[in-house]
A and B are shown apart, each in its own frame.
Chain A
């Protein structure tokens, strides 16, 4: 059963919930009261730790109940409910505006449009790391390595400094920084965003870019409204396969991509799987993808601890597997299922990890609809990687830490992939997983 949609709320970080400042009707306020109670009881009944780490959940209820009753707008109500969840100090607890579902019901698919730019925050600066071919950004000559100084006139430096101060001790820092800028680039298809760059010659460039439908196709699951999904593989070198996908979704397409890669590159020296920026998705796919690279039965990536049950994340070897050197590329925006995948393969000794520490946001979760129509994501289990440590708050620490730099991006280099390929080409032995 698919159960981990870990990245759902993470993906919404920075985007904010849809504005809801209209005065509520008495009926709407009642639905918010019911939603508040539903959230409170769901956490009480389902959290894997019945003691909630010592948190007095009843006291939280009693403190916030008057506030939800007093909330006169959706913004206020969501603030109260989100505030209640924030008391848990754990990822994968959050809300999604019901407006997203309304848009889906109306056949809308314009969410998350962007100018074709992916970015990371490097050394305190928002830097373009890739430009989608054929996108408005590509058409205007935007290049990897360009710095984004302002978005719609908003200076990014103080925004990033504020987030850095707030999350300076958190593994979520890179994810929060990146999302804070990316979310400003996103919007409805057909709208525009005005960007002030510093180009490769350190010259200011101001461009207004149209937001267009992202690459891929919508992949959703149940109450998760979906996002644009794509997967691809190619040979990064004649003897090195490179597989990349932006989410652990659409199992049939993802499985076919890996099948094509494994069957299309049986004599390759090694594989590099890139989950940088991958926020996760369906938890079971961590095992499913690992099955293409593990030939030994009985191995597991980790263990999920629910209230009253324990589930091993077992890997079932595929009929045809790739047994050569395997590199997994990660960064601070690799989260949830991506961390379960990378961390498990590292722990069983099957893969070498390249890049930077992951987001440390890996609690299996599900999404329900609340009486007020909003989505409610909540974690249902703790997860311990096979190495014996949780990923939540710790993340996956690479074997080889390799950081992107603006200079390398301007030179057209990908030092993380280069390091992985270099290791693969020097590696003469097949990795041996261990139980």
Chain B
């Protein structure tokens, strides 16, 4: 699942099957994926605006409405590849998830600490890459526009991007605005594979950048709604903000 605050930096690609032939345009008629991906950077602020941002702190809420669960989410990201997300859910406690370019990890009171490996690690490291959207050529080995499909009634270019490491992601970009409206990927973890679909909306300016403030994700048949309440760029972060938690260090030492 893509984080609501890192949508710009979460390039992933998938070679999904192209179906619904009526909705498809011939591949030759579609704009190149390079053009769409570059244009996304332009419409959300431009390369220069991205280059001015060196870290980001976003906060908001997350809610599994059907289960009556609502909590807080704070995400810290920084150049070049550091990320820590804190989820706090009543009745569950705090869940932490992070990556630092070398180690991808997660810890919670429910399952304890763990080091991510394989595809899950690759996905986490990719999401941890700061402003990845602006550097997509460095991160993806291929990007292809495969169709035109509607998302919430809006025609979108369906783009499949395949990272150099990890599984592909499919993204839908609005033909009119070129904003990212939807993404789909197969989230992999030791517990299994699960399709995660995220729909992005409520784009608003934060500083010079246009950011989606609402993400509705479908995971295992459950709807998760995430909203962004506050975004701060170039925050004065403590030096140890991205240090590995002690139990993660202990696991690494044990390995």
Which A residues fall within an 8 A CB radius of B? 1-2, 46, 219-224, 226, 249-252, 254-255, 282, 284-285, 287-288, 291, 298, 306-314, 316, 318-320, 366-369, 380
Contact = CB atoms under 8 A, between A and B. Distances in A.
A308 to B, nearest CB: 7
B80 to A, nearest CB: 28
Interface of B: 64, 66-69, 89-94, 108-114, 190-192, 194-195, 219-222, 247, 250-251, 253-254
Given A291-B112, A309-B194, 19 more contacts: A1-B220, A2-B69, A2-B91, A219-B91, A222-B67, A222-B68, A250-B91, A255-B110, A284-B110, A309-B192, A309-B195, A309-B221, A311-B192, A311-B220, A312-B191, A314-B190, A316-B190, A319-B251, A320-B250
Contact of A223 (B67, B113, B219): B67
A206 B195 CA distance: 61
A307 B221 CA distance: 8
Contact of A368 (B67, B114, B191, B192): B67
Contacts of A313: 191
A222 B222 CA distance: 14
A284 B111 contact: yes
Contacts of B192: 309-312
B69 A316 contact: no
6 contacts: A1-B222, A250-B91, A291-B112, A306-B221, A312-B190, A368-B66
A291 B108 CA distance: 12
Contacts of A320: 250
B92 A2 contact: yes
| Main DSSP-derived SS at the B contact region | mixed
B76 to A, nearest CB: 22
A57 B60 CA distance: 41
Contact of B64 (A222, A254, A369): A222
Nearest to B94: A252
B111 A291 contact: yes
**Ordered nearest first, which 8 A-B pairs have the shortest CB separation?**
A319-B250, A251-B109, A221-B91, A223-B68, A222-B68, A222-B69, A316-B114, A252-B93
A2 B191 contact: no
A318 B64 contact: no
Interface centre among A220, A308, A316 (most CB of B within 10 A): A316
B190 to A, nearest CB: 5
Given A222-B67, A222-B69, A312-B190, A255 B109 contact: yes
A50 to B, nearest CB: 13
B191 A311 contact: yes
A312 B109 CA distance: 19
Given A309-B220, A316-B112, A251 B93 contact: yes
Nearest to B71: A222
B31 to A, nearest CB: 33
A38 to B, nearest CB: 11
A314 B116 CA distance: 13
A366 B254 CA distance: 36
A1 B64 contact: yes
A288 B191 CA distance: 13
Contacts of A319: 113, 247, 250-251, 253-254
Contacts of B222: 1, 366
